[in-house]
Structure 1
Amino acid sequence: MFCPHKNSYLQLVCAVNPRVINKAVDRAMEKKHFDPHTEIPAAQRLESMQPSLYAPCVDITRARLGFGRIGLRLINRDLHSPDQLVQLQALHSIWDQVQISENAIFLINLHVGYRLVDLMLASDPVIREKVCLILSTLASYHQGREQITSRIKIIENLMRLILRDRREIRYAAAYTLRTLSRDRCSSEMLLKCEGIVENLLKSVIHEYAGIVLLHLKTLENLIEWDPEGPLKANAFQVMLELFSNGDPRIVCGAMDCMTQLCKHPVGKQLADIYDLTFVLRPYLVSPSIEIRISAVGLMEYTTLTTRSKWRAKECCEELTKRLVSLCHVPNKPPLQLRCMQVLINLCDCPDIRYHMKRFWERKVKAIKIRNHEEWDGTTETTSYGLETGHNYRTMCIEGVETIKNDYGDNAEVINVHSYLRHIHDVKAGLLYAINWKSYID
């Protein structure tokens, strides 16, 4: 008999094909063979990559032709086929092909985005979900974002799906909108769509947690570009209400949105009216480190006005003690940087500056800052940076956001050395602020 696992024959000469004998024995033993083309999940992907809505009679593991340039043109043409099954097959094929950057750019040049507009409101929910997933991938390219945002109808259809469709499609549409809002030019085009901010603010109150997180990230990007419209739509009050949410991820997202709102003069006035500095005090002792980082980042802007500094003087001892203790967390450079900046803002008040000089100057001098070999440039320090040294970029760390610069042409790029040098400069600025005198001896 032939052993397929060892690729060898158990006997040298046999009058019958050994594979026939193997099949007869397996059938007699009722042994089931594993067929990768028929087993679930399809194409042997991870379960998490499978859509929640499955297309009937579609096997994406077997294609009718090779996907060269001619094949891409044919499947692009099949999107408008009168046969719904052909449309489903074309969408599944395009979804696989846009994962390859070269094919994605070629499909963008074929104006596949415009062809998908008519399918966004199709009767089949599988088509609607798949169209949103394809648009999300296309929106990760500059050419794709330009093509999508050039038609305001695409944005209107996305908002219609977000507001009225089933949960799976609402999530896919929200993911597409978040991807589009990453670019500043695209954010400007999104804000031209009437009622987009108001609808998103209504959705974040009574929506599922995963969809709310996507909406909050979209709102953060839109508010960063133009905070006036969200302020007029009462975004400040909505975000303040989300502070009491039980999910720490939603609280962090609301604080990040509030940070963008407080960059505007009206946002600073509202922060003084609602006394945000006192509202944020309990979050400085939160068990979630992400909430503490977001709370201190928001406090950087709530402590800029004179009114907030004199208000903080009422809890000077407690507030400064907590902020100085958070500065002594060397495995969280973003938290150190933000805490020291808040203390610099508070040192503009003479009484707080005197308190810092008397009680905390020695503690500030003892703040330890990590070197570049101990930190891998992400918001949370893991063992990967210590184990792999400078090869940490080859590791896959899910759920960790890479720190990015706020301004400049390369806003998504971070240099670990310059960031740590900036922390040293801020520490020196804090010591200078503590020892600053408003008169000349």
Structure 2
Amino acid sequence: MFCPHKNSYLQLVCAMNPRVINKAVDEAMERNHFDPHTEPPPAQRLESMQPSCYAPHVDITRARLGFGRVGLRIINRELHSPDHLKQLQALHSVLDQVQISENAMFLISLNVVYRLIDLILNRNPVIREKVCLILSHLATYYQGRQRITSRPEIIENLMMLFLRDRKEIRYAAANTLRTLARDRCACEMIMKNGEIVENLLKMIKSDQTGIVLLHLKTLERLSVWDPERALKANAFQVMLKLFRNNDPRIVGGAMDCMTQLCKHEVGMKLADMYDLTFVLRRYLGSRHIEVIIAAAGLMAYTTLTTQSKWRAKERCVEITKRLVHLCHSPNKPLLQLRCMQVLINLCDCPDIRHHMKMHWEIKVKDIKIRTHEEWDGTSETTSYGLENGHNYRTMCIEGVETIKNDYGDNAYVVNVHSYIKRVMEKKQQLIEAIDWKSYKI
């Protein structure tokens, strides 16, 4: 039978119609049955019940799928059932069961990943979309990523989907690839594909906004692993064109991706060639906080060269005034950290250092830094600004910046105290950079 609360087919083998049993039990208990799918307001369904591609003619009484460990084994077998309807129902149930961590781990141990990879190029678009959604959930687990990356053909299949399929499936495939790219070991496997970077850049130029955002995040992760491939494919020029996009999310994503490219010596030379410091100057005054944070992070790398420092000296008053003003944002520690790093870089130029000493030294010393009681280490960028809240599972949530330890066994655990200490040390470095003299008195 179909349980609306679990959103799954929960029947093993029954001699009679299970709905009759449900109705008899409800009448004996004199209980009014509440179905959230039929009561107002109507939008009370689970997310997995709202696919973009709908399965036609689904008869919920035909499945013999169970609930629990026995049922999960049956669901796993039914994924390759010759009955097309049972196969669709099995996929529907698996998509819901992977939302539960225990069931997801058990399905991974049953090697459900290999069955799903065999179905990813199925002729039915409903199956293709659901398989990508399931793989996205399983890729958030280490064991899931390990099994997915053991089949290199998955990258070729995902590439075929986000290049040629309909937009709903392109989005699902891009989300799966983005989830895989979060892992460094998976990035190594992805980069073994000779065309992945070039195809990502091709789709970034012409695809829809939501899909472009996912591709930008994927390309950013891959550039962390190997920026040379992206630079050879003219990724720098593509990102520069995206700076003029009307959507601030795309502009911020392009800046984050270019930040990884500018860590390479070729990227730094291109930044000087295209005068990137002057280009970013006007983005520091953007109305969108995501763009300001991304621009400050990129400027921390574009201002490392001597040419960029002397170019910034031409607009010394404007740039330093804006950066010092942004440093006085105690509810945005990430923005403070990046702006102070840019000012430290610029203070290598004697004229800018003298200007900071004369006009902004007192203002810099008055920069307020939040205490650990006021901030918990996570920040989520939304259309309303920057929201802070307790969220310790940020590895699986998009749009959340996580402060991580760089060492130890708990490298991904939020450590508020160490991050606050890092901001305080950066402020002290800025004060020392302003007071620094190139000669001894």
With structure 2 as the length reference, what TM-score do the two structures score? Answer: 0.85
Change (3 A) 1:192 1:91: same
Task: Give the drift of 1:199.
Answer: 0.3
Task: Give the drift of 1:38.
Answer: 6.8
The one-letter amino acid paired with 2:326 is L
| Aligned position for 1:141 | 141
Q: Is 1:197 the counterpart of 2:197 in the alignment? A: yes
The one-letter amino acid paired with 1:420 is I
| Aligned position for 1:76 | 76
Task: Give the drift of 1:367.
Answer: 1.0
Structure 2 distance, partners of 1:144, 1:157, is: 17
Deviation track 1:69-123 (CA, whole Å, cap 9, x = no partner) reads 3322222111112221111011111112212222222221222111112211111
Change (3 A) 1:214 1:188: same
State the identity as a percent. Answer: 70
| Aligned position for 2:218 | 218
Task: Give the drift of 1:328.
Answer: 1.2
Asked if structure 1 preserves the Cα contact closer than 8 Å seen for 2:268 and 2:302, the reply is yes
Structure 2 distance, partners of 1:432, 1:162, is: 50
The one-letter amino acid paired with 1:331 is N
Structure 2 distance, partners of 1:303, 1:200, is: 28
Asked if structure 2 preserves the Cα contact closer than 8 Å seen for 1:180 and 1:187, the reply is yes
Asked if structure 1 preserves the Cα contact closer than 8 Å seen for 2:405 and 2:413, the reply is no
Task: Give the drift of 1:124.
Answer: 0.9
Q: Is 1:404 the counterpart of 2:413 in the alignment? A: no
Asked if structure 1 preserves the Cα contact closer than 8 Å seen for 2:65 and 2:75, the reply is no
Change (3 A) 1:37 1:254: closer
Asked if structure 1 preserves the Cα contact closer than 8 Å seen for 2:120 and 2:127, the reply is yes
Asked if structure 1 preserves the Cα contact closer than 8 Å seen for 2:378 and 2:400, the reply is yes
Deviation track 1:371-429 (CA, whole Å, cap 9, x = no partner) reads 122223223698986xxxxx944999x97513333844645332112111111111111
| Aligned position for 1:6 | none
How do residues 25-40 of structure 1 correspond to structure 2 at under 5 angstroms? none
Task: Give the drift of 1:57.
Answer: 3.3
How do residues 340-355 of structure 1 correspond to structure 2 at under 5 angstroms? 340-355=340-355
Change (3 A) 1:284 1:423: same
Structure 2 distance, partners of 1:60, 1:375, is: 48
Instruction: Give me the CA root mean square deviation.
Output: 2.8
| Aligned position for 2:8 | none
Task: Give the drift of 1:130.
Answer: 0.5
Partner SS for 2:319: helix
Task: Give the drift of 1:60.
Answer: 6.7
Which 10-residue stretch deviates more, 338-347 or 39-48?
A: 39-48
Structure 2 distance, partners of 1:206, 1:237, is: 15
How do residues 30-429 of structure 1 correspond to structure 2 at under 5 angstroms? 44-46=44-46, 50-58=50-58, 64-379=64-379, 392-393=390-391, 401-405=400-404, 407-408=406-407, 410-429=410-429
Partner SS for 1:80: coil
Change (3 A) 1:180 1:83: same
The one-letter amino acid paired with 1:262 is C
Structure 2 distance, partners of 1:383, 1:338, is: 16
Structure 1 distance, partners of 2:390, 2:228, is: 40
Task: Give the drift of 1:156.
Answer: 0.7
Asked if structure 2 preserves the Cα contact closer than 8 Å seen for 1:243 and 1:255, the reply is yes
Change (3 A) 1:399 1:145: closer
Which 10-residue stretch deviates more, 71-80 or 302-311?
A: 71-80
| Aligned position for 1:28 | none
| Aligned position for 1:8 | none
The one-letter amino acid paired with 2:349 is C
Partner SS for 2:378: coil
Asked if structure 1 preserves the Cα contact closer than 8 Å seen for 2:55 and 2:126, the reply is yes
Structure 2: runs of 5+ lacking an equivalent: 1-22, 28-32
Which 10-residue stretch deviates more, 242-251 or 45-54?
A: 45-54
Partner SS for 1:379: strand
Structure 1: runs of 5+ lacking an equivalent: 1-18, 24-32, 386-390
Task: Give the drift of 1:174.
Answer: 0.6
Structure 1 distance, partners of 2:380, 2:101, is: 30
Asked if structure 2 preserves the Cα contact closer than 8 Å seen for 1:280 and 1:299, the reply is yes
Asked if structure 1 preserves the Cα contact closer than 8 Å seen for 2:231 and 2:267, the reply is yes
Structure 1 distance, partners of 2:61, 2:407, is: 44
| Aligned position for 1:433 | 433
Partner SS for 1:402: strand
Asked if structure 1 preserves the Cα contact closer than 8 Å seen for 2:405 and 2:415, the reply is no
Asked if structure 1 preserves the Cα contact closer than 8 Å seen for 2:309 and 2:349, the reply is yes
Structure 1 distance, partners of 2:37, 2:266, is: 60
Structure 2 distance, partners of 1:225, 1:384, is: 30
Structure 1 distance, partners of 2:322, 2:227, is: 31
Task: Give the drift of 1:281.
Answer: 0.5
Structure 1 distance, partners of 2:175, 2:433, is: 44
Deviation track 1:352-380 (CA, whole Å, cap 9, x = no partner) reads 11111111111111111111222232236
Structure 2 distance, partners of 1:351, 1:357, is: 10
Structure 2 distance, partners of 1:42, 1:90, is: 25
Deviation track 1:118-169 (CA, whole Å, cap 9, x = no partner) reads 2111111100000001111111111111111111111111110000000100
The one-letter amino acid paired with 2:412 is E
Asked if structure 1 preserves the Cα contact closer than 8 Å seen for 2:344 and 2:430, the reply is yes
The one-letter amino acid paired with 1:50 is Q
Task: Give the drift of 1:35.
Answer: 5.1
Structure 2 distance, partners of 1:350, 1:356, is: 10
Structure 1 distance, partners of 2:110, 2:393, is: 35
Change (3 A) 1:96 1:339: same
| Aligned position for 2:20 | none
Which 10-residue stretch deviates more, 91-100 or 248-257?
A: 91-100
Larger Rg: 1
The one-letter amino acid paired with 1:212 is V
Q: How many residues align?
A: 405
Structure 1 distance, partners of 2:36, 2:129, is: 25
Structure 2 distance, partners of 1:414, 1:291, is: 24
Change (3 A) 1:39 1:113: farther
Asked if structure 2 preserves the Cα contact closer than 8 Å seen for 1:161 and 1:170, the reply is yes
Partner SS for 1:170: helix
Change (3 A) 1:364 1:48: farther
Structure 1 distance, partners of 2:386, 2:404, is: 24
